[in-house]
């Protein structure tokens, strides 16, 4: 116990709490990654994911070319929203990847926000999607199939994405081992349950 004057002297002599240090040289900055993520592909390149950076540019180019070629007809406002959502996805994805790298977590070339929590032996959705899109655009270019007729079914993409994410969540939950009776639950198991509730 200190008297009023001694307590004030003690508090004045105590060093101030350390401020948050900026990232060390060579370490990623999540804020800078977010800002660079608004430039197509640059946020991913900043995080060392060159393939993902190219993919970001290609997807944005496809969305813009669909809008500018009048292939979307009445769906141009929808594709305009897709373009703006894609810009923000790239920025947030770069931010989260930089945070993972800063925390020392392993980051794959094509890891991202949508792939979190999925089993590693999942179906290669990315390559299959690129192949299907390539075939669709080739058939449109050759005049064998009208892109307008295909774009009428864009809600199927939303349904397929939702089913894929749901399957990943359910498969991840079923791969966990049940707790052994009499043993306290593990710390990692508690975190997994909280992640599933999000």
Q: Which pLDDT does position 92 carry in this prediction?
A: 92
Is the predicted pLDDT of residue 137 greater than 80, yes or no? no
Are residues 106 and 131 both part of a single domain? Answer: no
Is the predicted pLDDT of residue 111 greater than 70, yes or no? no
Residue ending a domain, among 67, 96, 113, is 113
By CB atoms closer than 10 A (0-12, 13-18, 19+), residue 43 is buried
Are residues 120 and 107 both part of a single domain? Answer: no
pTM of the model: 0.51
- Among 121, 128, 111, 112, smallest CA distance to 167 is for 121
Are residues 89 and 102 both part of a single domain? Answer: yes
Is the predicted pLDDT of residue 158 greater than 60, yes or no? yes
Are residues 90 and 165 both part of a single domain? Answer: no
Is the predicted pLDDT of residue 195 greater than 80, yes or no? no
Q: Which pLDDT does position 185 carry in this prediction?
A: 56
Over the stretch 3-50, which tens digit does the pLDDT of each residue have?
666 666 666 665 655 555 555 566 788 999 999 999 999 999 998 888
Are residues 105 and 148 both part of a single domain? Answer: no
Give every CB contact of residue 175 below 8 A, 6+ residues apart in sequence. Answer: 119
Q: Residue 43's domain spans which residues? A: 28-113
Are residues 123 and 89 both part of a single domain? Answer: no
9 within some domain: no
Over the stretch 39-96, which tens digit does the pLDDT of each residue have?
999 999 998 888 888 888 988 888 888 888 776 666 678 788 888 989 999 999 999 9
Residue ending a domain, among 66, 95, 113, is 113
Q: Which helix (H) or strand (E) holds 24?
A: none
* DSSP assignments along 110-165, one per residue: T--STTTT--TT---HHHHHHHHHHHHHHHHHTTSS-HHHHHTTTHHHHHHHHHHH
Q: Which pLDDT does position 13 carry in this prediction?
A: 61
60 within some domain: yes
């Amino acid at each position: 116990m200190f008297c009023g004057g001694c307590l004030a002297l003690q508090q004045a002599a105590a060093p101030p709490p350390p401020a948050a240090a900026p990232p060390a040289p060579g370490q990623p900055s999540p804020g800078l990654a977010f800002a660079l993520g608004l430039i197509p592909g640059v946020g991913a390149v900043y995080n060392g994911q060159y393939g993902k950076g190219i993919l970001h540019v290609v997807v944005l180019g496809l969305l813009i070319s669909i809008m500018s070629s009048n292939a979307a007809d009445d769906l141009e406002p929808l594709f305009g929203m897709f373009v703006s959502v894609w810009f923000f996805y790239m920025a947030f994805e770069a931010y989260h990847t930089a945070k993972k790298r800063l925390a020392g977590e392993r980051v794959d070339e094509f890891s991202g926000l949508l792939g979190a929590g999925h089993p590693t032996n999942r179906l290669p959705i990315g390559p299959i999607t690129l192949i299907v899109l390539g075939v669709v655009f080739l058939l449109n270019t050759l005049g064998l199939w009208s892109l307008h007729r295909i774009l009428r079914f864009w809600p199927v993409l939303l349904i397929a994405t939702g089913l894929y994410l749901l399957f990943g969540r359910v498969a991840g939950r079923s791969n966990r081992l049940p707790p052994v009776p009499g043993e306290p639950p593990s710390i990692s198991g508690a975190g997994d349950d909280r992640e599933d509730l999000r």
